[in-house]
Structure 1
Amino acid sequence: MTAPKEIVDAVLEGRNQAVARMLTFVERRSDGVDDALAVLHRAAGSAHVLGLTGPPGSGKSTLVSALARHYRSQDRTVGVLAVDPSSVFSGGAILGDRIRMSDHGDDAGVFIRSVATRGALGGLSRACLDAITVLDAAGTDVVILETVGVGQAEVDVISAAQTVAVVSVPGMGDDVQAIKAGLLEVADVHVVNKADRDGASRTVAELREMLRLSHRTAGQWNVPIHQTVAANGDGVADLAAVFAAHLDWMTEHGERERRARRNAATRIRWVAEELVLDELRPGVAAFDHALDEVTAHRTDPLSAARQLVGR
């Protein structure tokens, strides 16, 4: 299966069917997909990419759905990439966020896709980053990346999103501890969802104290703590306004360009690692030769590895 030029053109015109087909090509790494992505990359760069992360049960999917509804009320198009754990059998996504957001199914202005982690330790795969490029090139105004929610290990979201929101809820004893362990540093906005529950004020106070104790320098973005009840939409419009304010702040202070360079550096490194690893496996002539030399003690593993990398 190849990614013909006609599909690339249709993606650039913003056709959802073409976007869906292109994302399938991306996930399968079909012939011609890299050339297609090169074209799409040059057309990308206008979308506001939001990353929502946080522990399971914090209501991220409900919040994403409420945000999508708010952006549509402003006549803005929305792309949702819901990162799900991968099936150990097929590599596919298994939780089905599209089912949980089914109320947007008839809205052509909302595109929802589940994306598998495919074993990526930080929660994001190369296909997920390429999917952002596809949605961005298609003219999507806001791309929302909802991560799988595995706690402190899930910090790769900063390599993809411009604005990162860490979502927590009252009443989960280990919730704030998980944020303290790894997610505090990546948050541009802290969201306390399900804020109608008992203990919401305590959760806000704990987050505020953690932020007070964190090492911050002059001129940094002042990370806000925002309360929402996504199930009924309370606080969602104000949260969207906070995201917009953060985008404005990044543009004004040069942070948007710095993050774009950081994210580009991450993507280059990940792709380079894939290309190198693809050559470092049994069956590749150079690798098999190095294997023979090390096995026969004619060279050592470090020297063989350096020679392979040098190629």
Structure 2
Amino acid sequence: MISQTNAAPPDELLERFRAGQRTALARAISIVEDGRAGFERILHQLHTDLGRAHRIGVTGPPGAGKSTLTSKLALEFRKAEEKVGIVAVDPSSPFTGGALLGDRIRMNNISTDPGIFIRSMASRGHLGGLATTTKEVADLLDAYGYDRVVLETVGVGQSELEIAGTADTSVVVLVPESGDSIQAMKAGLMEVADIFVINKADRPGADRLAQELELMLHMRLGEAPSNAGHHGVSLKSVQKAAREGLRSRADESGGWAIPVLKTVAQSGEGLQELARTLDLHRVYLQGSGELSRRRQARLAERVRAVVERRLQRLAWRMGPGEQILADSLQSLESGEVSPYAVADRIVTELGVEPR
């Protein structure tokens, strides 16, 4: 049963939403993003409409050209008459709390297309590269009927790993001048990526970065190309051996060989191949059962998040938590009580046995 604090939204909103009115979609997103009364009821009633969209995460360091890549990728999908929803997460303004950069401005070349919907969201200090309600806004775009939902992260580097639990397919975007491929390993992006994209590949260093990434992907499998240690062997030949090894291992195991693609998003170079590779990965996910596994994991995490959100509301907004905390501050400062004892009191007031 949905919490009574989330009163049912007007039937008229859901009717207009299901009728395909963009104003209803925008209003539903605002309600969910702001956590207004009724937002859980909206998501509850639309849950049966989920599961049709291919959710694509686009992540990587700042300056990698993710917004340009996303806009050009959307155009590729539009060529196939697919509808595209884009959630672009930007840093928050410290004054208004709103999106600071405004990706809709950077994507103004596609913003007038009726088959594309763009929503900029503020990260509001969330450190996972996504806003706290990005996943739920993606649900709305899925339920609305978009064929592809692209989630572009804020671009904060090492804290972007949350995208792996949000998207069906994760695309990690790097650029030659962002440093050598060891930075990708430090950030944990090797474990996140389903597809690597080296953007701005017309700049020096792109080929070498691609070679290093493919070699590292091969070594992650626990082996190195047989000629990797030979003197006089070029990195390019090692790259070829690594690529062939990755494909061979993937064929044997029925897995996915992570590709390393090169694009120049500004000119559109390589975008057709990226769109095709995304289609191939979606086919792999469906055929291998991995898509079901990823979506079940995402739903399990959603249930946990909803439970945590409701417990926090019970403890702090509806329960006596804030008052107990305020009354305990002097005792906490003097050392008479510990934070754990105060937490026990708050939890006990909720009717839960403290651990």
Distance, in Å, in 2 between the alignment partners of 1:137 and 1:263 is 16
- After superposition, the CA RMSD in angstroms is 2.5
* Structure 2: runs of 5+ lacking an equivalent: 1-6, 223-248
- Deviation of 1:282 after TM superposition, in Å, equals 8.1
Partner of 1:171: 177
Contact 2:261 2:274 in 1 (8 A): yes
Partner of 2:121: 115
Distance, in Å, in 2 between the alignment partners of 1:214 and 1:306 is 45
Q: Is 2:269 the counterpart of 1:234?
A: yes
* Structure 1: runs of 5+ lacking an equivalent: none
TM-score by length of 1: 0.91
- Deviation of 1:183 after TM superposition, in Å, equals 1.1
Distance, in Å, in 2 between the alignment partners of 1:139 and 1:283 is 36
Question: 2:258 is paired with a residue of what secondary structure?
Answer: coil
- Structure 1 window deviating more from structure 2 (286-295 vs 130-139): it is 286-295
Q: How do residues 82-231 of structure 1 correspond to structure 2 at under 5 angstroms?
A: 82-173=88-179, 176-181=181-186, 182-215=188-221, 218-231=253-266
Question: 2:177 is paired with a residue of what secondary structure?
Answer: coil
Partner of 1:260: 295
TM-score by length of 2: 0.80
- Deviation of 1:128 after TM superposition, in Å, equals 1.0
- Deviation of 1:232 after TM superposition, in Å, equals 1.1
- Deviation of 1:286 after TM superposition, in Å, equals 5.6
Distance, in Å, in 1 between the alignment partners of 2:317 and 2:13 is 36
Contact 2:328 2:342 in 1 (8 A): no
Contact 2:86 2:151 in 1 (8 A): yes
- Structure 1 window deviating more from structure 2 (205-214 vs 241-250): it is 205-214
Partner of 1:278: 313
Distance, in Å, in 2 between the alignment partners of 1:2 and 1:302 is 33
- Deviation of 1:152 after TM superposition, in Å, equals 1.5
Question: 2:209 is paired with a residue of what secondary structure?
Answer: helix
Distance, in Å, in 2 between the alignment partners of 1:302 and 1:25 is 31
Identity %: 41
Q: Is 2:78 the counterpart of 1:72?
A: yes
Q: How do residues 30-69 of structure 1 correspond to structure 2 at under 5 angstroms?
A: 30-69=36-75
- Deviation of 1:5 after TM superposition, in Å, equals 1.8
Distance, in Å, in 1 between the alignment partners of 2:136 and 2:19 is 18
Instruction: Say how many residue pairs are matched.
Output: 310
Distance, in Å, in 1 between the alignment partners of 2:178 and 2:211 is 15
Distance, in Å, in 1 between the alignment partners of 2:279 and 2:74 is 14
Contact 1:45 1:136 in 2 (8 A): yes
Contact 2:320 2:349 in 1 (8 A): no
Residues 147-196 of structure 1, C-alpha deviations (whole Å, 9 max, x = no match):
0111121111112100000000112226x333111111010000011111
Match of 2:284 among 244, 249, 261: 249
